């Protein structure tokens, strides 16, 4: 802590702006605030109260854009319930919703599908690029992939190319590769972009006085090593076909009329 006793007081002969040497402003001069400033302050306070009355607190809809129940069968893939891991759920609000199944076929292919649904706090959803490195994955590339749905709509998903170094039972190093496709689902809106999700959410809060209960949908699969190297194209095709088939079962805006349970949250 500095020794304040060593600091000399300013000489009394220093003059303040507009004052004579050694003089201080009078009490009247200090409190001489222009009336227009007071008027502006009152107008600002009045505007805030009016805006609060005109736009009441944001309403978070109770109904999500997805159903939190994954189908047991998608094409030739059979699904089994799978648990979330502790690193995936640690730090998330207790009202965050989860649904996960791993799908297999007789050829040995597998796809892990996960839905994460935000709660009232709206902080359960984040960019996967922020947490995947903590799980040992490195990002080798990314692209946005358009998927034509049965409804005629086009769903854009983001595909991350992931890599991780692993040690084989023979104690040799092997590069494990995965495709990680994801997209965000709101109330009749989807986007693969975290920035767009924030922009849409902010716009609807201000203009429409509501907040989306965003869901985060993931479909991921290991890229196997084939005779000609990693099977990039077949794995990508398998994932896009899977997403095309599962979306009408989980995304409310794509469900055929009459199939959605009115009691669904």
Nearest 5°: the CA angle 210, 196, 263 is 45
pTM over 0.85: no
R_g of the chain, CA atoms, integer Å: 29
CB atoms within 10 A of CB 209: 13
Question: What average pLDDT score do residues 193-209 get?
Answer: 79
Q: Is a pLDDT exceeding 60 seen at residue 33?
A: no
CA distance 239 to 184: 17
Could you report the per-residue pLDDT of 95-149, keeping only the tens digit for each? Answer: 889 999 999 999 999 999 999 998 876 666 778 888 888 888 999 999 999 999 9
Distance of alpha carbon 172 from alpha carbon 166, whole angstroms: 8
Please tell me whether residue 30 adopts helix, strand or coil conformation. helix
Q: What residues pair up with 16 in beta bridges, in sequence order?
A: none
Task: Tell me which residue has tokens 């199939």.
Answer: 259
pLDDT of residue 59: 52
Helices (H), 90-228: 128-131, 194-203
Between residues 189 and 73, the one the model is more confident about: 73
The secondary element (H helix, E strand) that includes residue 147 is strand 138-148
More confident residue, 163 or 59: 163
**How far, in Å, CA of 89 to CA of 110, rounded?**
23
Instruction: Phi first, then psi: give them for residue 250, nearest 5 degrees.
Output: -125, -25
> What residue segments make up the domains of the chain, in order of their start?
73-254
User: Per-residue pLDDT for 264 more than 90?
Assistant: no
- Cβ neighbourhood burial of 164 (10 Å; 0-12, 13-18, 19+): middle
**Both tokens of residue 120?**
């009232």
């Amino acid at each position: 802590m500095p020794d304040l006793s060593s600091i000399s007081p300013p000489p009394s002969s220093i003059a303040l702006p507009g004052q004579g040497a050694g003089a201080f402003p009078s009490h009247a001069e200090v409190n001489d605030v222009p009336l227009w400033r007071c008027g502006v302050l009152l107008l600002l306070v009045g505007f805030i109260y009016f805006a609060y009355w005109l736009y009441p607190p944001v309403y978070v809809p109770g109904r999500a854009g997805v159903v939190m129940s994954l189908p047991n069968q998608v094409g030739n893939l059979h699904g089994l319930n799978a648990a979330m891991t502790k690193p995936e759920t640690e730090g998330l609000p207790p009202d965050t919703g989860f649904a996960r199944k791993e799908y297999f076929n007789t050829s040995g292919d597998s796809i892990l599908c996960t839905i994460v649904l935000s709660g009232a706090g709206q902080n359960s959803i984040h960019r996967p690029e922020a947490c995947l490195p903590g799980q040992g994955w490195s990002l080798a590339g990314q692209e946005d992939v358009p998927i034509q749905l049965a409804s005629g709509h086009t769903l854009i998903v983001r595909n991350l190319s992931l890599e991780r170094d692993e040690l084989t039972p023979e104690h040799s190093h092997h590069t494990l590769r995965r495709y990680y496709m994801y997209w965000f689902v709101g109330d009749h809106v989807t986007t693969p972009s975290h920035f767009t999700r924030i922009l849409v959410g902010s716009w609807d809060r201000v203009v429409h006085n509501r907040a989306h209960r965003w869901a985060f949908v993931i479909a991921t699969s290991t890229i196997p090593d084939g005779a000609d190297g990693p099977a990039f194209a077949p794995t990508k095709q398998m994932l896009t076909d899977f997403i095309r088939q599962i979306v009408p079962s989980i995304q409310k805006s794509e469900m055929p009329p009459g199939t959605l349970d009115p009691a669904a949250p």
